């Protein structure tokens, strides 16, 4: 079968894993990848439109209680984000024109329902910014129901890697089954789901395709983000190879053909410089324009950033101007308006 015909076949309802795997493998060749990317962009523009939209993140809002810690991780925190400062952060994000916010991290397998409900309730009392939440597999079915009743837009359950042996090695204190169960709970409760794939932990192309097909089975999946493995010197994965952006871009393009209406984003291990390739491969349309973290408070801006001091300890780092320039460079624009679910 010609590569163009394989691309056509992956875009059909009921496409097989075998065809998707062939497209992923054969797109290693740049000439094929360019054909795949063109098809993926056409699907993205038709399904999601050409306008990008802003989101922002407040990370490490609760301590990560996973024991032992994931073997590659450097971004856990041991503290809770004080609620007053969290609310001030949400309002600061709103004031720079972003209407959409993620609260994320850490994880507690014993549950974080009450803590997250308290945070969402406090922000709700001060702001009508759209809220999404991500605490790993830390929510019960009742917690998801309560978050939905509070108007939370989505719950994230990041499977990270679909191969159980690789998951167990990289995340020995975490639970792949717990993460899968949370996706199922969201589906049962008709709560929108966001998920993430961490590419480059050692999984095969087949694992990646199995992962996409598993998620594709959930009609409430609305956003899938792609992390690109980055080794850190202080972790047990320090000698594990950095994942190439080529791996990420090609998997995004296959995902676009399999799930046309799902927002496909970039997550940890990617930077602003990955945006043009991401977009050219069919990624889109949400962009993270600003972030707040107590774990890494910033006092001095690096080029391309603006820092807004929110409270004595909390600063908001905006990359909106730089990202707007990058996006304008490929003829698109970014706005505050996000699509309905």
Q: Is 252 within 8 Å of 211 (Cβ atoms)?
A: no
| Nearest distance from C-beta of residue 72 to ligand SF4, angstroms | 7
Nearest 5°: phi and psi at 73? -90, 140
Residue selected from 70, 221, 258, 287 as contacting ligand SF4 according to rule CB under 6 A: 70
Residue 61 in the binding site for ligand SF4 (CB under 6 A)? no
Burial of 273 (0-12, 13-18, 19+ CB in 10 A): exposed
Residue 136 in the binding site for ligand SF4 (CB under 6 A)? yes
d(CA 319, CA 170): 31
Of 311, 265, 326, which is closest to residue 100 (Cα–Cα)? 265
| CB nearer to ligand SF4: pick between 66 and 101 | 66
| CB nearer to ligand SF4: pick between 66 and 103 | 66
- Residues 6+ away with beta carbon under 8 Å from 12: none
Residue selected from 11, 63, 105, 200 as contacting ligand SF4 according to rule CB under 6 A: 105
Q: Is 280 within 8 Å of 245 (Cβ atoms)?
A: no
Residue 63 in the binding site for ligand SF4 (CB under 6 A)? no
Q: Is 338 within 8 Å of 154 (Cβ atoms)?
A: no
Please report the DSSP string for 116-140 in residue order: HHHHHHHHHHH---EEEEEBTB---
Residue selected from 76, 213, 246, 338 as contacting ligand SF4 according to rule CB under 6 A: 76
d(CA 278, CA 266): 8
Residue 64 in the binding site for ligand SF4 (CB under 6 A)? yes
| Nearest distance from C-beta of residue 197 to ligand SF4, angstroms | 14
Residue selected from 32, 55, 59, 107 as contacting ligand SF4 according to rule CB under 6 A: 107
Residue 246 in the binding site for ligand SF4 (CB under 6 A)? no
Q: CA quadruple 103, 277, 223, 135: dihedral positive or negative?
A: negative
Tell me how many residues contact ligand SF4 (CB under 6 A).
13
Residue selected from 24, 48, 56, 73 as contacting ligand SF4 according to rule CB under 6 A: 73
| Nearest distance from C-beta of residue 215 to ligand SF4, angstroms | 19
| Nearest distance from C-beta of residue 71 to ligand SF4, angstroms | 9
Burial of 328 (0-12, 13-18, 19+ CB in 10 A): exposed
Q: Which residue stretch of 40-48, 62-70, 287-295, 324-332 sits at the interface with ligand SF4 (rule: CB under 6 A)? A: 62-70
d(CA 285, CA 304): 21
The residue assigned the tokens 């390739």 is: 277
Residue 157 in the binding site for ligand SF4 (CB under 6 A)? no
Of 291, 290, 292, 287, which is closest to residue 335 (Cα–Cα)? 287
Q: Which residue stretch of 18-26, 66-74, 91-99, 286-294 sits at the interface with ligand SF4 (rule: CB under 6 A)? A: 66-74
d(CA 169, CA 172): 6
Residue 66 in the binding site for ligand SF4 (CB under 6 A)? yes
Q: Which residue stretch of 4-12, 101-109, 220-228, 271-279 sits at the interface with ligand SF4 (rule: CB under 6 A)? A: 101-109
| CB nearer to ligand SF4: pick between 154 and 157 | 157
Residue 174 in the binding site for ligand SF4 (CB under 6 A)? yes
Residue 198 in the binding site for ligand SF4 (CB under 6 A)? no
- Provide the 8-state DSSP code for 225: E
Residue 106 in the binding site for ligand SF4 (CB under 6 A)? yes
Question: Which positions lie near ligand SF4, rule CB under 6 A?
Answer: 64, 66, 69-70, 73, 75-76, 105-107, 136, 171, 174
């Amino acid at each position: 079968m010609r590569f163009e015909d394989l691309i056509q076949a992956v875009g059909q309802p009921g496409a097989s894993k075998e065809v998707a795997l062939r497209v992923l493998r054969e797109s290693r060749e740049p000439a094929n990848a360019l054909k795949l990317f063109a098809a993926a962009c056409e699907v993205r523009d038709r399904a999601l439109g050409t306008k990008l939209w802003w989101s922002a993140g407040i990370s490490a809002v609760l301590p990560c209680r996973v024991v032992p810690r994931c073997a590659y991780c450097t971004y856990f925190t041991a503290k809770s984000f004080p609620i007053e400062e969290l609310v001030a952060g949400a309002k600061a994000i709103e004031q720079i024109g972003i209407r959409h916010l993620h609260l994320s991290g850490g994880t507690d397998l014993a549950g974080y329902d009450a803590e997250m409900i308290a945070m969402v309730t406090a922000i709700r009392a001060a702001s009508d910014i759209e809220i999404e939440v991500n605490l790993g597999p830390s929510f019960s079915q009742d917690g998801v129901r309560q978050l939905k009743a509070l108007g939370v837009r989505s719950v994230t359950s990041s499977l990270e890697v679909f191969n159980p042996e690789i998951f167990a090695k990289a995340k020995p204190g975490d639970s792949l089954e717990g993460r899968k169960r949370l996706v199922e709970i969201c589906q049962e409760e008709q709560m929108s789901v966001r998920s993430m794939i961490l590419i480059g932990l050692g999984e095969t192309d087949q694992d990646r395709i199995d992962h996409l097909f598993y998620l594709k089975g959930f009609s409430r999946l609305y956003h899938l983000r792609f992390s690109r493995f980055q080794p850190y010197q202080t972790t047990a994965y320090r000698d594990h190879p950095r994942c190439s952006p080529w791996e990420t871009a090609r998997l995004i393009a296959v995902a676009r053909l399999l799930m046309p209406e799902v927002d496909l984003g970039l997550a940890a291990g990617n930077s602003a410089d990955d945006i043009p390739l991401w977009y050219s491969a069919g990624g889109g349309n949400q962009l993270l324009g600003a972030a707040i973290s107590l774990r890494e408070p910033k006092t001095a801006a690096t080029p391309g950033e603006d820092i807004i001091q929110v409270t004595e300890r909390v600063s908001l780092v905006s990359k909106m101007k730089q990202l707007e320039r990058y996006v304008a460079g490929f003829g698109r624009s970014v706005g505050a308006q996000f699509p309905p679910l």
